[in-house]
Chains A and B, each alone.
Chain A
Amino acid sequence: MTESRFFILLAFAIVLTVGTAAGVAPRSPVGSSIVGSVSASPGVYVPEELKVKYRRPDEIPAPPSNPLTPEKVELGKTLFFDPRLSRTGSVSCASCHHPGFDWSDGLKRGVGVTGVPLPRRTPTVLNAAWLSALMWDGRAASLEQQAVLPITAEHEMGLELDEAVANVQAIKGYAPLFEAAYPGEGIRAETMLGALASFQRTLVSGEAPFDRWINGDEAAISEAAKRGFLVFNEAGRCSKCHSSWRFTDDSFHDIGLESEDLGRGEFAPPSVVIMQHAFKTPTLRDFRLSGPYMHDGSMASLDEVIDHYEDGGKKRPSLSPEMQAVTLSAQERADLIAYLKTLQGAPLDVPMPRLP
């Protein structure tokens, strides 16, 4: 068994341990679906082939150029919580991606070293290992590429990359951590960013009541939530974009919010109209029940969000073809919200590191 393979299994064991501690039964292995069968639920018919689409994967992916190891993860965790990676020495990655706020910050818009509100809401870093495009506008293609962006953003952590590396090099206690993680490679930008990426790959949502239901525990969620799952996939059209086990299609859509922010359109030729005001579909796992919502934090409640989708958003050429006004009854709306609340997993067991 390779070291990376071992760690992947270890990471999942941790996630499952968290779930077990919270009274969650380990889930069934992927691939044991009974396509075409009918749920045992007495009141709500839910085809198994629909539930199968939301089954969790068994392994955490990592690029061949930076396979996961426990040593990289330990180093990455230490760096993630270290505020000395910022200009003021007061802002760490965890300041905005705080474990207590489901690895976000609960703010409408984030705040970094300058105190100037950032243009967009802080997304969670949970389940980032599976992302094919990172940042709200997709301008990073990997966690390794992404890690440099907040460190070097003026209003986030505010350092030049070589300054951040120099800060870490100056802290004596980091040398053995880097040597263990990247033997012989030293404290360099590549190893620092690689370690940060490795740690973030291990941040996987804990098993949620929804997962237990998907795996056969009919009592894991309410009948209202089961009806809400159908609303999510049918009348509500939510699954058009919030698809897969992470509830995102990893894609970019203009959902018709009133905003001057061009999003991914900043990086596309003007002729690619569909990308103007387009932002990445956020995951719904472990979303903050208390909000705020949307890329700009402009909505404070789930009711407000559903109102927006019932309206269909601002009509303009860039509006996503998937955005079509929907009509939900009061019962369907209540069921949908009941369902969304089943996506909250147990908190991750990530002890704070002792900084060198």
Chain B
Amino acid sequence: MRLTTAAMMAMMAMALPLSGGASAAEHTVVLHHMELDKIEGEMRVGDVVAFDNRSDMAHNLYLTYSDGTVDNLDTQVPGVTRSLTLRVAGPAVIRCWIHPIIKSEFVILDGKEDAGR
């Protein structure tokens, strides 16, 4: 069977991840009472982070990027998981509007660097 060039390109495109030549990773961070699990491993632009509220109280997390922009996760009562897609490379901090004592800092790497991952 012969494939046309266009068909081959289409198949290759389908096989490739959405960005940067590698698939976006998914991470899960668990909320325990007033603490977030330590955020470990490489986080890159395009990765999806799920925050799983396993505490016995409601939380309202927000992520502040290095450029000052903010992603809010809305209120999540116990048992609810909310996710966001990392948008901006650089230092980032996760906090909770309700509980300011909750704070976790990490670094988001440029998504383009994940070609070798």
Contacts and interface: CB of A to CB of B under 8 A. Distances in A.
A251 B98 contact: yes
A268 B60 CA distance: 11
A329 interface: no
B100 A274 contact: no
B57 A274 contact: no
Contacts of A141: 100
B72 A274 contact: no
Interface string A248-274: 011111000000000010001101111
B100 A272 contact: no
A249 B99 contact: yes
B18 interface: no
A234 interface: no
Contact of A274 (B34, B58, B70, B101): B58
B100 A133 contact: yes
A312 interface: no
Interface string B30-71: 000010000000000000000000000110101000000010
B23 interface: no
A272 B99 contact: no
Nearest to B103: A132
Given A240-B57, A321-B77, A274 B99 contact: no
B80 to A, nearest CB: 11
A252 B97 contact: yes
Interface in B92-107: 97-101
A138 interface: yes
Q: Name which of B58, B75, B97 has the most chain A CB atoms within 10 A of its CB.
A: B97
A278 interface: yes
A272 B62 CA distance: 10
Contacts of B58: 274, 320-322
Nearest to A264: B97
Nearest to A268: B97
Interface string A229-252: 000000000001000000001111
A320 to B, nearest CB: 7
A279 to B, nearest CB: 12
Contacts of B99: 249-252
A125 interface: no
B98 A250 contact: no
A249 B55 CA distance: 14
B77 A274 contact: no
A138 B60 contact: no
Nearest to B101: A132
A275 interface: yes
A224 B92 CA distance: 50
B75 A273 contact: yes
B77 A272 contact: no
Q: Name which of A133, A253, A264, A272 has the most chain B CB atoms within 10 A of its CB.
A: A272
Nearest to A240: B57
A321 B75 contact: yes
A220 to B, nearest CB: 29
A274 B98 CA distance: 8
Given A240-B57, A321-B58, A322-B58, A272 B72 contact: yes
B72 A271 contact: yes
Contacts of A138: 100
A231 to B, nearest CB: 19
A278 B98 contact: yes
Interface in A169-201: none
Contacts of B100: 132-133, 138, 141, 250-252
Given A138-B100, A251-B100, A273-B75, 15 more contacts: A133-B100, A133-B101, A141-B100, A250-B100, A250-B101, A251-B98, A269-B70, A271-B74, A272-B74, A272-B97, A274-B98, A278-B98, A321-B57, A321-B75, A322-B58
Q: Closest 4 A-B residue pairs measured CB to CB?
A: A321-B58, A133-B100, A132-B101, A251-B99
13 contacts: A132-B100, A240-B57, A250-B101, A252-B100, A271-B72, A271-B74, A272-B62, A273-B75, A274-B97, A275-B60, A275-B98, A278-B98, A320-B58
